[in-house]
Amino acid sequence: MSGATWVIVPISTVGCGKSTVFRALTTLHPEFAHIENDRLKTKKAFSTKLQESVKDHPVVLIDRNNHMVKHRQEIYEDLRYYDVRLVLVNFVDPRMDIMKVKKIAFDRIRARGTNHPTIDGSNERMVRMIGGKFFKDFRPYDPSNEVDSQFQEVLNLDMNKSVLYNLRTVLKFLGSRVGFDVPDDDTLRQVIQTVKDYKVPEEEKKFQKDAERVARKQEERGQARKHDETNGNAPKKTKTKPPQSKKRNHPGEPRPVQPQPPANRTEPMKIEDYFSKVQS
């Protein structure tokens, strides 16, 4: 393969339409590589797959959120010695209200239900727990950041708009660089519908396997407890340490100085603060 490989690196959250766009791209262009992080078990497997893919594909689509700066740094380090063009793709428009972003993401996760490898959209507790963690950890693209500034190009999408809009935007970007024409909207709509009709195989749903594993452990504990009761074995008691009284200072003795955090310590900007800064 001649020429550099174009590597699409999204900055996104769950439920932003990333996988739908990427599957549509590989349906139109089977020569593209689609790396699905949800189907890889370890970071090493992800890195190996990424490095192998850039050797013989014109375009590599990294289907991972990369919502933390360290994720983008990992990709850069994995590919720093390869002939690639790294493109950061923003799926989240920083001008959007954060609550609107959350609502769109959560509604999409619920709508797809169990048709996902790792998230059960019908389980409201799981939706809020996983979605909430993603938004808490999310760090948007920042051109002044040393890590983000290492990427050669940036493409802005908008999760508030249709999949058709975002798909067409990516196709125009890649078409002008790799060299292909963008199909008409009717063709793109048919491809998008085909992608949406795709069903994740039951054996690939990790959340079901996790639930089954927990259920088996609970059943095993119940059987062991029943066996002990039947044989007259009392359950083991856990030893607890008695509460220790706090040491008090003698009269006139100075109180110990509590350590203070460094005065110049700065915390990473949270997504809520970033959105407020951009909107003001």
pLDDT digits (tens, 9 = 90+) for 71-80: 999 999 999 9
Residue 86 belongs to some domain of the structure: yes
Phi, psi of 118 (to 5 degrees): -125, -15
Q: Which residue range forms the structural domain that includes residue 113? A: 5-209
Residue 12 belongs to some domain of the structure: yes
pLDDT for 11 equals: 94
pLDDT for 253 equals: 60
pLDDT for 15 equals: 80
Q: For residues 40 and 47, what is the distance between their CA atoms, to the nearest angstrom?
A: 10
Average pLDDT estimate for 124-149:
82
Residue 255 belongs to some domain of the structure: no
pLDDT at 241 over 80: no
pLDDT for 208 equals: 45
pLDDT for 111 equals: 73
pLDDT at 274 over 80: no
Residue 232 belongs to some domain of the structure: no
Residue 241 belongs to some domain of the structure: no
C-beta of residue 39 within 8 angstroms of C-beta of residue 117: yes
Judged by average pLDDT, the poorest of 47-56, 64-73, 225-234, 241-250 is 241-250
Residue 224 belongs to some domain of the structure: no
Residue 158 belongs to some domain of the structure: yes
pLDDT in tens, 178-191: 999 999 999 999 99
pLDDT in tens, 85-132: 999 999 987 777 778 877 887 787 777 666 555 666 566 777 677 777
Q: What is the 3-state secondary structure (H, E, C) of the chain?
A: CCCCEEEEEEECCCCCCHHHHHHHHHHHCCCCEEEEHHHCCCHHHHHHHHHHHCCCCCEEEEECCCCCHHHHHHHHHHHCCCCEEEEEEECCCCCCCHHHHHHHHHHHHHHHCCCCCCCCCCCHHHHHHHHHHHHHHCCCCCCCCCCHHHCCEEEECCCCCCHHHHHHHHHHHHHHHHHCCCCCHHHHHHHHHHHHCCCCCHHHCHHHHHHHHHHHHHHHHHHHHHHHHHCCCCCCCCCCCCCCCCCCCCCCCCCCCCCCCCCCCCCCCCHHHHHHHHHC
Q: For residues 241 and 243, what is the distance between their CA atoms, to the nearest angstrom?
A: 6
pLDDT in tens, 9-53: 999 888 888 999 999 999 999 999 999 988 888 999 999 999 999
pLDDT for 155 equals: 97
User: Structurally, how many domains does the chain consist of?
Assistant: 1
Name the pLDDT band for 211 (thresholds 50, 70, 90): very low
CA distances from 233 to 47, 134, 208, 218, 229 (A): 51, 46, 34, 19, 6
| CATH number, domain with residue 114 | 3.40.50.300
pLDDT for 248 equals: 57
What is the rounded average pLDDT for all residues in the chain? 80
pLDDT at 54 over 60: yes
More confident residue, 209 or 181: 181
pLDDT for 255 equals: 64
Residue 154 belongs to some domain of the structure: yes
Q: For residues 118 and 175, what is the distance between their CA atoms, to the nearest angstrom?
A: 32
pLDDT at 214 over 50: no
The pairs formed by 131-136 with CB atoms below 8 angstroms and a separation of 24 or more are 131/13, 131/14, 131/15, 131/102, 131/105, 131/106, 134/13, 134/14, 134/65, 134/67, 135/13, 135/98, 135/101, 135/102, 135/105, 135/271, 136/270
pLDDT for 209 equals: 46
% of the chain at pLDDT higher than 90: 44
